[in-house]
Amino acid sequence: MQNNTFSTLFVGQNLIKLKEVDSTNNFLKNLVSKSEPLAEGTVIMADHQFAGRGQQESVWQTQEGKNISTSIYLKPSFLPLDRQFSLNMAVSLAVSDTLSCFIPEGIMVKWPNDIYYLDKKLGGILIENTLTGSVFKSSVIGIGLNVNQLEFSENISDRATSLVQILQKEVPLMDIMQKIFMFMEKYYLILRAGKYSILQNDYLAKLYNYQVKALYRHNGEIFEGAIEGVEDNGRLKVNTKNGLKIFNFKEIEFIHTK
């Protein structure tokens, strides 16, 4: 464990750097499960993550030393269970604000928490919560970002991008990490203060396809709709020709026509 001098109160002050790991989330969860108390804001960062996971156990592919594979430990015991998605909003905003420091236009959050540049995926977030009764005991925040990777496998090359592809120059990983720590702490403190409307408004301002007509798939059927908002529990509200429809995670698929 390394003590660092980042300009934060707690996020990133304890940073554990690994050469290789199956998943930074798994590594951090194992640390949390041990009897020694772990400082809130502890960060795991790996040069290579060979079994990284996305939402619903999908695989996150990354080249060694080129991208950000990191996990952050938080203890949001103050958060009501019905406000669980507000944590997703806070983390998504922290990552999107970080990337907007390097790419001023075009950074969006695709519901629920993928990070997009225009119509291509730049990164993803996986939040794994542990509950004790009706209280949040801990949250492990996994963040994967495509930074200096120039090429992607054939099956995702038309849907993925990276900072180096967009900017045509490499970006030091620690420059990005420092900003992630700073913005993560900012939005986490907003969350802790219970200022949910700030998170909601900022999230909608960054939301991909918000109030824009686009194509979606549900139960094999393609339909046109416009995202109208997100419920407190995270479900997506979509206005369709048949009225307002509500979708849970993985119940709706975005159709990309480009």
Q: Which residue has the tokens 């079994």?
A: 51
d(CA 193, CA 9): 16
The residue ranges of every structural domain in the chain are 2-206, 213-254
**3-state secondary structure at position 27:** helix
Q: Which CATH architecture has domain 213-254?
A: Roll (2.30)
Least confident of 30-39, 52-61, 119-128, 216-225: 52-61
Q: CATH topology for 2-206?
A: BirA Bifunctional Protein; domain 2 (3.30.930)
Instruction: Return the amino acid letter for 56.
Output: Q
Cα separation of the two ends of the chain: 45
Of 112, 102, 93, the closest CA to residue 54 belongs to 112
**Strand-pair partners of 230:** 236
Instruction: Return the amino acid letter for 193.
Output: A
Q: Name, in order, each residue with C-beta under 8 angstroms of 195's C-beta and a sequence gap of 6 or more.
A: none
pTM equals: 0.92
Burial track 87-100 (b if 16+ CB lie within 10 A, e otherwise): bbbbbbbbbbbbbb
Contact 67, 130 (CB under 8 A): no
Residue 51 confidence class, pLDDT cut points 50, 70, 90: low
Residue 40 confidence class, pLDDT cut points 50, 70, 90: very high
pLDDT value at position 62? 64
Check pLDDT > 90 for residue 237: yes
To which H or E segment does residue 131 belong? Answer: strand 120-132
pLDDT digits (tens, 9 = 90+) for 178-224: 999 999 999 999 999 999 999 999 999 999 999 999 999 999 999 99
Check pLDDT > 90 for residue 158: no
182: its two tokens: 């700073």
Q: Name, in order, each residue with C-beta under 8 angstroms of 63's C-beta and a sequence gap of 6 or more.
A: 149
d(CA 71, CA 177): 11
